[in-house]
Structure 1
Amino acid sequence: MEKINERKFSLASHGSSVLAGFRELYQTELLSDVCLVAEKREFRSHKTLLAACCPYFRSMFSIDLREKEETTVEMHGTTARGLSAILDFLYSGDLTLNDENKEDVLATACYLQVDAVIDMCCSYLRENIHMNNCIGIWNLACALNLHELKDFAENHVTNNLIEASQSDDFLELSCDQLIVLLSNDWVKATDRELCEMSDKWVARDPKRSEYLDEISSILNIDSIPAEDNFGIPATRPLGGEHVARRHDSAETARESTICRASREVVLAVGGRLMYNERPAVQRTCVSFCDVRSPDGDKPWYEMTQIPIRRRNYCAAVLDDEIYVVGGREWDKEARGYDRWSAAAFCYNLRTAKWREVSSLSTKRSCFSMDAIEGNLFAVGGDEDHEDTSILSSVERFDPIQNLWWPCSEIPDGRRCQASCVYNNRLYVSGGWIKRTEAAFSLTLNVNMSCIPTMSATVYCYDPLTDMWSERSAMHVARFSHAMEVYSGRIFAIGGYTSLSRTHNEPLDVVECYSPERDQWSFIEPLRVPAGLCSAVVVEGYMTVLGGDQSTCE
């Protein structure tokens, strides 16, 4: 039946009026049907309002629990001060926080699952965090399992560790919390300062000596000189028996430490910035991406600059140090990268300092380099502009001796190849190779052995025997591609194929190699073709970074 002249009216103030009415009933204890007791203090309340505003009370008074029928409920797990503030909020919508009640209110809000109050408390703590309370807030967030507040407080402690360590709360940290601080890659503290903090923490309780080995494995003890005991008595934990493992490196002990523990950080070394219809700009910076960052975009941060402007070099990480080796340096007179180099530099992630190390025996560019069992292996490349300059030589760098040693040559000299390490063996694939036999053109009478050939061949090098062995070739010949190991398989990713001597096309082809079966197979291609790309396995995923999607002429 049609309703004639129907109109709906609303009173905007009705909700606040109802809440104000309940507030008056609460203050006068009229019509209350339940008495909440915390620390022997009674709070006469109304089940209907509590159930409407709080999931905890809704479950208590609507499910067949013992409290459903009772008129007095003991609120174990809450304090009187915290419960009072929560009830005031439920009856009025207002919350008053101060240094006296903040912890009680937050703990009670978490217990009663009052999300609005939890958010207000966390906001209050973030706004009022300082050196004297940051560790206390961190402890509180850990105890209440508040992840965002925990990360915020942890970052504050980490960024101000020297000052925060002066508070009494620092001595009450758990061992796990101390390890988190010592393990942070970017904490701004020297090894000397971290050692002193750890000594003070251990000395607080004799039982903590059982954690010495774990703490020592995190600290850069070996970089602190034996004669420098920085005023710590020999009876102190890290100043006694562990001193014997130190060696003379006073400079390291004085520098600010950057990387001190295992943490997944992706490093990008150099490269070129490509602009539409503009020349490429060679980058000289080293950047890192912290994959544990809570930011969704995983931002990149600049760490340092490569000492010498260069391109077509190789970079590898060995024992918390970044090595940048070879390549072509910038020639000011020629205004181009026309000076082949054998120079090698090392960046220490702990001290944030570059140093020059022993140079390659042979100047080389467009080669490959990988770390195996504490050594670097540089393979192939070229030594000048000529096609005949492709190298088959291999060098091994021993960082302890600071020397490069010759190794068995790869059977086919090559440049622009890709390589990776699997099961302590070096796998090298593709690139441009020397022709192994002289073939003469009947029409041009040209020695074709001088012209490099794009290759799909694969070789495996065993450092223990210093021998190369040929493996099954890839299905697609390519160069300037990426190789990476993931889940017991080797992947050849992207790269270029040569359509003519002056025309190179980027590839989207990805092949997967089984070392056990010595067999290659195609898998899903890249979403876009990419030459000169890189690949890395991080957080359980293989990620392809950068690359050139344009055709090269």
Structure 2
Amino acid sequence: MAPLKFCTSDKKKQFLTRDVEDVDDIEFFQQTYICKILDNLNAMRTNGKCCDLEIIAGNKSFKVHRAILAASSPYFQAMFTGELAEKNKDSIELHGVPADIFEILLEFIYSGLVYINQNNVQELFSAGDMFGLTDIVESCTKFLVRELQPQNAVGFYRFADGLNAKDLKSEAEKYIQLNFVRVSKEDEILQLNEDVLMKFISSEYLRIDSEQQVLEFSLRWINHDVSNRRNFIFEILSHIRLSLIPLEILNTMISDTSDSHVKLGLQTYYNDIVEKKYRLVSMNSEPREWAHRYIYVLGGSKREMNSFYEAGLLVDYLGLEKFDISAEKWIRVPEMSIDRLMPGVATLNGQIYIVGGEACSYSLSSCLTFNPLTSQWNHVANMHTPRCDFGLCALNGYLYAVGGWVNDKEPNLCDTMERYDPKADQWTQIGKLSEPLFSMGMVAHEDLLYLVGGCSSTKVILKAFKSYNPRTGEWKELPEMKTPRWQMGVAVLGDYVYVVGGCCKEDFLDSVERYDIKENKWSFIPPMKTARSGAAVVALNGLLYVIGGTRTHSRNFYRMQCTISSVDCYNPVTNSWSDCPPLSESRAECRAAVI
């Protein structure tokens, strides 16, 4: 390659030469140039310069460049390059597209910018789909996916199905499956036609606590239009795993059914199970693939009687084990990297989160996740405040951490609240309690958090009960429990909040109270077989499980608090307790999760 020369034509020519390496041409791309061209074209459009076409949408006229629209939209490209009548027209009227929506689309075509909100997203989606503006469709899809809620998921699904918008339909379908229990309680889902209904109730991917929830929803769907839907009862029942539903519940449903045709269908399937014919119902039905089928017990410690005599009160930290409700057996799982007492545990997006807790007399702020599919542990962002024996719940895609024990130095209790966003992997402080609390119970139900009992900074054991609305940040006082208690277990089963065992002063409790959310009142149920505190409590498959805990052991003149391995199970249909297979090791101050 010859030396590069810069020449000037003058009477006195000057030559500047410089040797350069023998290389290929170098490509330079100027992003700002494209933006400049778009800005200039948009300015020309708004000023009516060089425009060769008028488009009328609604009651408004728009001056545009035919080539720009053809290059941006397959719809306009076919119109202007094919043999359509509009090809040579100077003015075209668009039907079915409001003026304000077309104006937004024009702004996007000429600038690449679009502003989407709840008021325009549906019409933008439809118009973008009509004109083949895939970027608009993708942007609207992302917006709507972020807005998915139990109240609108079915509406989004039907909207996407009508437009054949596969991505939005897939996301809405997945959301309905993962949140089926809540979505099935909305009126919107009752509008589904029979084909879509059968698709959902036959799916392996319904995230449910029990098969009873699918049956209850299906009967609700039939009763919404019983005269036109009663004939689907046998087809519906063929998709429900009735052998997984207790016979007492099936019998109650038959008694509560008023329509004779629906009652006949239920009775026929019921008889098939009772008479053990199994012509209609499989006797070996497995829970659905995404149904909650395991109880995971995490953290805690073991303090057993022999330890007292041999070497004082020895504390052995325990890791993780799970209970298979189908096989009715406990299984050991990979241990945590840090064993901990009284952590917060919750399930979110198919992961188990174990947050905070106590290790070696120090409160922790660390947060781990466990993936049941891969059996892998991962670290995520730490809380702002180390805490143990606190409230932790998952609600509407977030984790909420409330109160807890901080350390042994004053002030040793915490009144702060934090919220974790898994998408941003970030904790945010969101408010405070009216007073510091620890060892209380906290559960989530239908957009609200419920906080019950606990111990205050003045060592007062509480029977207070209140709800928190994360949308408004407001606390609401509710009727108090009948018994003050702390170190109890709490769970939601049906429309009840159950508060199980715990301590009242020096006494271990076997009593169980439940709060009727609809009736706004407390009542007692039969006591547990064993008084205990520090137990893990969960609801699954229509039953309440109380796992492990601490009770007082006496031998001769010695009294000590020891951990137990027994598991009690409460059936609300029979209003009775039964024994379940015990833990492989006794433990207390642990937590449980269902997944």
Bucket of the pairwise TM-score, normalised by the shorter protein: 0.3 to 0.5
- Larger RCO, structure (CA 8 Å, separation 6 or more): 2
